[in-house]
Amino acid sequence: MHRNHTAMPLAATLFAIALFSVMDALMKRAAIAGGAYSAMLVRTVLAGTIMATIWRLRGGQVPPLAILRVHALRGAVSAVMAPTFFYGLARTPMAQGMALSFIAPLIALYLAAVLLGEKIRKAAIIAAILGFVGVAAIAAERIGGAEMQGEAARGIVAILVSAVAYAWNLVLQRQQAQLAGPLEVVTFQNLFAALALMPFAPWLWALPQGGEWGDIGMAAVLATCSLMLLSWAYARAEAQVLVPIEYSAFIWAALMGWLWFDEILTPVTLFGVALIVAGCWIGTRGGKPMPPVEP
Distances (CA, A) of 222 to 36, 176, 218, 244: 17, 23, 6, 21
Distant-in-sequence, close-in-space partners of 147: CB < 8 Å, separation ≥ 6: none
Distant-in-sequence, close-in-space partners of 122: CB < 8 Å, separation ≥ 6: none
pLDDT at 120: 63
Residue 110, pLDDT > 70, answer no
The C-alpha atoms of residue 268 and residue 129 are separated, in whole angstroms, by 17
Distances (CA, A) of 235 to 6, 10, 129, 140, 187: 11, 12, 33, 40, 17
pLDDT band at 208 (very low <50, low <70, confident <90, very high): confident
Residue 287, pLDDT > 60, answer no
Q: Which residues of 28-37 are buried (b: 16+ CB within 10 A; e: fewer)?
A: bbbbbbbbbb
Indicate yes or no: pTM above 0.85: no
In percent, how much of the chain has pLDDT > 90?
A: 17
pLDDT at 192: 93
The C-alpha atoms of residue 226 and residue 99 are separated, in whole angstroms, by 20
The C-alpha atoms of residue 141 and residue 80 are separated, in whole angstroms, by 26
The C-alpha atoms of residue 145 and residue 141 are separated, in whole angstroms, by 6
Could you give the count of Cα atoms lying within 13 Å of 258 in the half-sphere of its Cβ? 9
The C-alpha atoms of residue 232 and residue 16 are separated, in whole angstroms, by 10
Q: What is the pLDDT of residues 228-276, one digit of tens each?
A: 787 777 667 765 566 667 777 888 888 888 888 888 877 877 887 777 7
Q: Tell me the mean pLDDT in the region 45-74.
A: 88
3-state secondary structure string across the chain:
CHHHHHHHHHHHHHHHHHHHHHHHHHHHHHHHHHCHHHHHHHHHHHHHHHHHHHHHHCCCCCCCHHHHHHHHHHHHHHHHHHHHHHHHHCCCCHHHHHHHHCCHHHHHHHHHHHHHCCCCCHHHHHHHHHHHHHHHHHHHHHHHHCCCHHHHHHHHHHHHHHHHHHHHHHHHHHHHCCCCCHHHHHHHHHHHHHHHHHHHHHHHCCCCCCHHHHHHHHHHHHHHHHHHHHHHHHCCCCHHHHHHHHHHHHHHHHHHHHHHHCCCCCHHHHHHHHHHHHHHHHHHCCCCCCCCCCC
